[in-house]
Structure 1
Amino acid sequence: MADSQSRKLLGRLREALAESSAGQARLDRITTIIATSMHTEVCSIYLFRDADTLELCATEGLRPEAVHKTRLRLGEGLVGRVARKNRPINTADAPSTRGFRYMPETGEEIYSSFLGVPIQRLGERLGVLVVQSKEARQYSDDEVYGLEVVAMVLAEMTELGAFIGEGAALSARHQNPAMFKGTVAQEGIAEGRVWLHEPRVVVTNPIADDPEAETERLMAAIETLRGSIDDQMTGIALAEKDQREVLETYRMFAHSRGWIRRMCADIARGLSAEAAVEKEQSSARNRMESVPDAYMRERLQDLDDLANRLLRILSGQGNDTGAAMPDRPILVARNIGPGELLEYGRKLRGIVLEQGSVGSHAVIVARALAIPLVIHADGLATEALNGDPILVDGDQGIVHLRPSENVTTAFRDKMAMQAKAQERYADLRGLPAQSLCGAVVSLTMNAGLMADLPSLEGSGAEGVGLFRTELQFLARPNVPKRGDLAALYARVMDAANGRRVVFRTLDIGSDKVLPYMRRVDEPNPALGWRAIRLTLDKPGIMRMQLQALIRAAAGRPLSVMFPFVAQFDEFREARAHLLDEVERERRLGHKVPEKVEIGAMLETPSLAFAPEQFFALADFISIGGNDLKQFFFAADRENERVRRRYDTLNVSFLTFVEQIVARCREAGTPLSFCGEDAGRPVEAVCLAAMGVRALSMRPASIGPVKSLLRRVNLEDARAAIDASRAAGDQSVRRAVTDWLGNVLRAEQVA
């Protein structure tokens, strides 16, 4: 199909779309136009009814009675294969092609040739467009390409609601209630209105009459884009090598002849400049899904981001769309960086991401801000519109978009119950977490931002058991200055008002990659060059941070903890660095801390079996529960298929914790447990029963944990655990839950 023919076809489609027809009539008219223009006997449109089911919604040439009756599962038949693979199938002999499924109700057995292309928009699968002929022939590359252009227009028209209405083939988009199941990244619940981090550019003019004018518009926008990239590079110092490399990649794509040539070819076929950019963007996203190489996926992500910027220039729909942020905003995005999230700050009530990971920068910031966060909510950013009502259940990982009245009522009841519970916990704020048997458990909070520190008073935390120092590195475009870090750490200690603050040194690597540091492509980053391994290899960074901490203390006590220590020598070397810096500061005449505590995070099973000298030399040890658990069970906590298989209250894991407690007790080394499980009341009781006497958690968890600890006898809890172990149970959860139920029922009776 030549460019001129393609433009004529698109022109006829535009006329059909402009007619005041109902959705079904419009679809029927379109199949007739395509079949006539392409000189084929059949044109059919299959659309998704749900994520796994395609339905024949319109046809020219097949039996009309099959419309809305014929359905295929994703991957079933040639149509299902096109949808699953997101790639065209072009065959001269359909019945003998692998995957063919005969559907007698359609009467298609008389047609030999088959060409099917996906109808998709930016990675969202909408359906399949098919043409068929009796003649056994392979469709030409030009015909395949032309049909893809038509499918692109159909996708845009679907987004704009062209096929809804009386007798509609489709239900209205962006109007009905929808539920999304994601992954819990930060607990909590929130009700609010959608605020899209990157509002979608809606292409309202997919078809254009004047290819020359559209090409000129495209090239002008590309020049603007190139200029903005050059301006960014001018503002970056030559020393900031890694950041320059990122922009160099952007510049390379912005000058890519192949990218520009493909978009110009799309325009020649009859697409507008915006639709041509979006067509290329969809292709990049498809390639991204099928490329196994991490580096190549990242480059395709760069191309996707660049296409977004180009679309905003062309359409005039920049990030600032003129929409006002709603009251109680809940941020919805595909993904977001820590710096961008910090800019929103505490204005947000909740966050929902389509991507992300439980250890990502965004999760760290969300936890620091105590904002409920759900990740892996696939499709939400496509379905949501700014201002849509939304409910986020961070406890269950469920998001309700445009919820029904019944769902909203139940959700508000849950929020009210949680608010009442928080009021009860407030009465315990000044009381110790002392169990009925007299054991006292120290409860501290995790933090990472100055904004966290007011929670010290409100939550009743005894101090900060973990202050994450990497956020100040992650949220900036370049390495922070020592003076700036020292000033920040000093403000943290001032805000703690004499309470102990344990500063964890820089924990980067794995999925926490600095924007100005070259990403190291590792097959398993969680087990790779990260945390103490990275900073020991780059001692300049470690020394700079340690100097900032020493100067921030200004004579006050200082507690420093090194992350991800796997063997004694790593701790001994890092400890020597800190003591050397203290001595250096003393020689320079600076005030040094009156007392320095140097500890380690026990996150690898190997450290639990370190020599006695390690336990004697460490001033304190903190079990990093999140990492320790995934390494203990060899279960990646980012992998939903395996991470929920393994329980913290598994007998093996609790026995391992018990062994660590015994080694620390023998050496006289204080031990704490830090992580999500520390903030879960039942888990907290079990950890305390195993001998852990300090727990560090998010501020909101301190009340519930303290409330339960004060109502139980830890000796009885230990007896329930031991009985379960003796019975050969895999987990003690059921036994402990039954015991707790009896205790709380007896309390109510009394």
Structure 2
Amino acid sequence: MSTDTGGARALLRTLRNVMAGSGDGQQRLDRVVRLVASNMVAEVCSIYLKRDERTLELCATEGLKADAVHSSRLRVGQGLVGRIAERASPFATDDAQSAPGFRYLPETGEEIYRSFVGVPIQRLGEVMGVLVVQNAAPRRYSDEEVEALEVVAMVIAEMAEAGAFLGSDGIVAQAGRRTGPLLIEGASAADGLAEGVVHLHEPRLVVFNPVAEDVETERTRLAHAIDALRDDLDRLIEDDALGHQGEPKDILETYRMFANDKGWRRRLDQAIDSGLAAEVAVEKVQSAARSRMERVSEPYLRERLHDLDDLANRLLRYLIGPQAEDTVPAGAILVARNVGPAEVLDYSGRIRGLVLEEGALSSHAAIVARAINIPMIVQAERITRDANPGDRIVVDGDGGRVHLRPESSVLDAFREKLALSEQARAVYRGLTDKPACTQDGATVALKMNAGLLADLPSLEMSGAEGVGLFRTELQFMIRGTLPGRETQAKLYGRILDSARGKEVVFRTLDIGSDKILPYMRREKEPNPALGWRAIRFGLDRPRLFRMQIQSLIRGAAGRPLSIMFPMVAEAQEFFDARDLLLGEVARLAGLGHPRPERLRVGLMLEIPSVAFGPDRLFEEADFVSVGSNDLMQFFFAADRENERVRKRYDLLNLSFLRFLRQIVGRCEATGTALSFCGEGAGRPLEALTLAAIGFRELSMRPVSIGPVKRALRSVDLGEVLAALDEAEAAGLTSARSALSHWARSRDLPL
């Protein structure tokens, strides 16, 4: 094959003519393999297509035994062909029999062929099969030859999607879409309940002419589409509909940088030069990004690749033009493989919920979904393949479940739950201005967790008494560059303005582990969760730490200021961080900046070791906040991001509760204010237990404050403590069953 771009274009034009000819699907496949073998000067060309999600079938060949067609099969991951399908990446060797993973298929007669090159046949990152070329003599296939095969594979994928191979016994459909009722378990990225109809973010677009008629015409079409994309992003950034929510705008600013990325544009132009139509060129670059996503574990890099994926989706819409599927139906639930923040903002006000096949709890899209108050489920396996436009769908953002095409009984049950939820919300609204005071006279302060300026309206609506935890790192993670002092100070000032005099406890930067700043080099560590993160990072990088401290002081502008340090493992870390803070207060005062009216300095107790620190630590800290998510992770040695282990351990485990009671006792002995912060604080049964063992401040998601307040106002904590003590006396490992039984016996509203 001539491997320059002109040769590739000539091959594609010939391929287009072959595909346009008469004959059924099998005859077209046979002509394709003959054409590719001839152009590659190869003795073998074969096409393997998926029979189902895990099986590849030989569907056409030039050079192997004809009897093997439709009888020779491989599992995905098996042999060189199976590994290409599994990894969605090409592979070439001049000695196939010696290559790792080689599997000999005697029915094909391939034992005489030593050289091998294979590329995935994929569309939008979904592998449909594998295109293979083989030679008997040792041959090193050049990068240009491999790339040319990838272009051919892309065209085969497009034509398969357009139905070019239908009517043949050999064409293999993608793993069949399930058509009946389906329950899909995912992870909840934003709470809430919603019922509606499926709207696919990526409608199954069909490109009927994947080969460029004229390269310059395709270049012009691409340029116009990119200009429109950039204009649209500019409009979104300036749109007043964002409601002055600074964080989504910051996300879009970063997003716009990718739209102007020269490397991305260069790869698109190169794909067009190879002979592809503009739409297919975009899909080729998009598929490459998706393939890299599958192999990347670093959260930040995956997020950047998702952004490029989202840009490609938007660009395709400009190239293909409006389609019927683009109209968002009333009551839509958006279903997508993944989306970026710009797309979520695009759909704002037009959708009731969001379900993603991929996605992450900490993604930019999740941040925006929470800001605009729509339920969101991520990691809903196969949802884009099993859902069809207009299907009835139910999203349970509280439980992380999706009901696709639910039966009437499921739908009725959900609607009843939705009605009860609305009734409960009406009850909670009636409690907004009332204290969380128990039947025996104990008062528990209920505060909310936040991380975005957009979260602050929930302070008033939920009845929270303040912000018990403001995660400052989110402001750093959603930007493309490090925010300066002035930017940070303005943001912190706006947060305090929005709180209207209620306390906001700012947690200093908790970065590292799974929280990576896009503009900082990541340190490779064998176990990042136990590594260089949070206060350790801050003390080792005092310049960045001081910048944030200075910004917080300036943002307070003389108002009360509460600051706490994350992940303190030993007392000296707290003392060093506090000394740095006090030094900056004094220095800025000398420069004319007002001192905070009242300064409270505390620490998060997330590492068990600090609970055994010296009395001086508890005496000098203004407050201690138990960070339950990390504390449980370290107490049980169970990674909270690992689904196999994190759900095995329970906040109501009696060993953990005994440890918490020790912490309560230490703080009571020194008169140190104590709070409990985390997901557990927002579950009524756990909240009752925490209050019973002595916690008088709980910080949780705003949506949890109503249910927790209602539960607290219904009980006598002495009874809760008695039930807990009975469970311990009985030798149980967890108090959950005993407490649940006790709550049911009293018909408590949990």
Using the size of structure 2 for normalisation, the TM-score is 0.77
- What SS is found at the alignment partner of 1:430? coil
Cα distance in 1 between the residues matched to 2:461 and 2:265: 54
Cα distance in 2 between the residues matched to 1:85 and 1:473: 33
- What SS is found at the alignment partner of 1:466? strand
1:239 corresponds in structure 2 to none
- What SS is found at the alignment partner of 1:317? helix
Q: Deviations over 1:105-126 (max 9, x none)?
A: xx64698658764322243121
Aligned partners of 2:446 and 2:697 also within 8 Å: yes
2:242 corresponds in structure 1 to none
1:237 corresponds in structure 2 to none
2:160 corresponds in structure 1 to 158
Aligned partners of 1:28 and 1:58 also within 8 Å: no
Superposed displacement of residue 425, structure 1: 2.7
Cα distance in 1 between the residues matched to 2:226 and 2:259: 16
1:29 corresponds in structure 2 to 28
1:736 corresponds in structure 2 to 739
Q: Which residue of 187, 197, 200 corresponds with 2:191?
A: 187
Superposed displacement of residue 613, structure 1: 0.5
Q: Deviations over 1:720-749 (max 9, x none)?
A: 33343444443332232233232328x99x
Aligned partners of 2:481 and 2:519 also within 8 Å: yes
- What SS is found at the alignment partner of 1:513? coil
2:430 corresponds in structure 1 to 427
Q: Deviations over 1:600-627 (max 9, x none)?
A: 1112222212111010111111111112
Superposed displacement of residue 654, structure 1: 1.9
2:696 corresponds in structure 1 to 693
Q: Deviations over 1:58-115 (max 9, x none)?
A: 7898778985x87653234665344224445779998999664769xxx646986587
- What SS is found at the alignment partner of 1:641? helix
2:141 corresponds in structure 1 to 141
Residues 639, 271 of structure 1: CA spacing in aligned structure 2 closer, same or farther, 3 A cutoff?
same
- 1:641 corresponds to 2:644: yes
Superposed displacement of residue 673, structure 1: 0.7
- 1:601 corresponds to 2:604: yes
Aligned partners of 1:342 and 1:475 also within 8 Å: no
- 1:207 corresponds to 2:211: yes
Cα distance in 2 between the residues matched to 1:43 and 1:282: 23
2:16 corresponds in structure 1 to 14
1:75 corresponds in structure 2 to 77
Residues 221, 347 of structure 1: CA spacing in aligned structure 2 closer, same or farther, 3 A cutoff?
closer
- What SS is found at the alignment partner of 2:120? strand
Paired letter, 2:683: R
Superposed displacement of residue 515, structure 1: 4.2
- 1:617 corresponds to 2:617: no
Superposed displacement of residue 305, structure 1: 6.6
Superposed displacement of residue 394, structure 1: 2.3
> In terms of mean alpha carbon deviation, does 282-291 or 718-727 score higher?
282-291
Residues 417, 163 of structure 1: CA spacing in aligned structure 2 closer, same or farther, 3 A cutoff?
farther
Paired letter, 2:82: G
Aligned partners of 1:201 and 1:315 also within 8 Å: no
Residues 625, 672 of structure 1: CA spacing in aligned structure 2 closer, same or farther, 3 A cutoff?
same
Aligned partners of 2:310 and 2:338 also within 8 Å: no
> In terms of mean alpha carbon deviation, does 177-186 or 730-739 score higher?
177-186
Cα distance in 2 between the residues matched to 1:373 and 1:354: 11
Cα distance in 1 between the residues matched to 2:349 and 2:540: 36
> In terms of mean alpha carbon deviation, does 620-629 or 308-317 score higher?
308-317
5+ unaligned residues in a row in structure 1: which ranges?
232-242
Paired letter, 2:29: I
Paired letter, 1:696: S
Aligned partners of 1:603 and 1:624 also within 8 Å: yes
- What SS is found at the alignment partner of 1:434? coil
Aligned partners of 1:474 and 1:514 also within 8 Å: yes
Cα distance in 1 between the residues matched to 2:530 and 2:333: 34
Report 1:454-465 matches (<5 A). 454-465=457-468
- 1:48 corresponds to 2:47: no
> In terms of mean alpha carbon deviation, does 604-613 or 547-556 score higher?
547-556
Superposed displacement of residue 693, structure 1: 2.0
Aligned partners of 1:565 and 1:600 also within 8 Å: yes
Residues 554, 316 of structure 1: CA spacing in aligned structure 2 closer, same or farther, 3 A cutoff?
closer
Q: Number of residues paired by the alignment?
A: 714
Cα distance in 2 between the residues matched to 1:571 and 1:630: 21
Residues 446, 291 of structure 1: CA spacing in aligned structure 2 closer, same or farther, 3 A cutoff?
closer
Q: Deviations over 1:427-451 (max 9, x none)?
A: 3333333334443322111123343
Aligned partners of 1:429 and 1:460 also within 8 Å: yes
> In terms of mean alpha carbon deviation, does 612-621 or 543-552 score higher?
543-552
Superposed displacement of residue 347, structure 1: 7.3
Superposed displacement of residue 690, structure 1: 2.6
Aligned partners of 1:215 and 1:273 also within 8 Å: yes
Q: Deviations over 1:504-541 (max 9, x none)?
A: 23333443334444444444433344333333344454
Paired letter, 2:210: P
Superposed displacement of residue 157, structure 1: 2.4
Q: Which residue of 665, 668, 672 corresponds with 2:671?
A: 668
1:238 corresponds in structure 2 to none
Paired letter, 1:29: R
Residues 124, 459 of structure 1: CA spacing in aligned structure 2 closer, same or farther, 3 A cutoff?
same
Cα distance in 2 between the residues matched to 1:651 and 1:152: 58
Residues 686, 148 of structure 1: CA spacing in aligned structure 2 closer, same or farther, 3 A cutoff?
same
Q: Which residue of 128, 152, 161 corresponds with 1:126?
A: 128
Q: Deviations over 1:126-147 (max 9, x none)?
A: 1234679xx9667883887665
Cα distance in 2 between the residues matched to 1:699 and 1:186: 12
Superposed displacement of residue 163, structure 1: 4.9
> In terms of mean alpha carbon deviation, does 669-678 or 371-380 score higher?
371-380
Residues 499, 273 of structure 1: CA spacing in aligned structure 2 closer, same or farther, 3 A cutoff?
closer
Aligned partners of 1:428 and 1:707 also within 8 Å: yes
Report 1:157-556 matches (<5 A). 157-163=159-165, 169-170=172-173, 181-191=185-195, 204-208=208-212, 213=216, 253=263, 263=271, 267=274, 271-272=276-277, 275=280, 278-279=283-284, 282-283=287-288, 285-286=290-291, 289-290=294-295, 298=301, 316-317=318-319, 349-353=352-356, 355-359=358-362, 363=366, 366-367=369-370, 370-377=373-380, 391-399=394-402, 411-480=414-483, 482=485, 485-553=488-556, 555-556=558-559
Superposed displacement of residue 346, structure 1: 7.7
- 1:560 corresponds to 2:559: no
> In terms of mean alpha carbon deviation, does 396-405 or 634-643 score higher?
396-405
- What SS is found at the alignment partner of 2:465? coil
Residues 221, 369 of structure 1: CA spacing in aligned structure 2 closer, same or farther, 3 A cutoff?
closer
Paired letter, 1:432: P
Cα distance in 1 between the residues matched to 2:159 and 2:2: 23
Residues 99, 730 of structure 1: CA spacing in aligned structure 2 closer, same or farther, 3 A cutoff?
farther
Cα distance in 2 between the residues matched to 1:535 and 1:289: 32
Aligned partners of 2:375 and 2:395 also within 8 Å: yes
Cα distance in 2 between the residues matched to 1:336 and 1:171: 23
Aligned partners of 2:52 and 2:173 also within 8 Å: no
Residues 14, 706 of structure 1: CA spacing in aligned structure 2 closer, same or farther, 3 A cutoff?
same
Using the size of structure 1 for normalisation, the TM-score is 0.77
- What SS is found at the alignment partner of 1:31? helix
Q: Deviations over 1:366-419 (max 9, x none)?
A: 555554333334565788899887543323333456777776555444333322
Q: Please tell me the root mean square deviation across aligned C-alpha atoms, in Å.
A: 5.1
Superposed displacement of residue 153, structure 1: 1.4
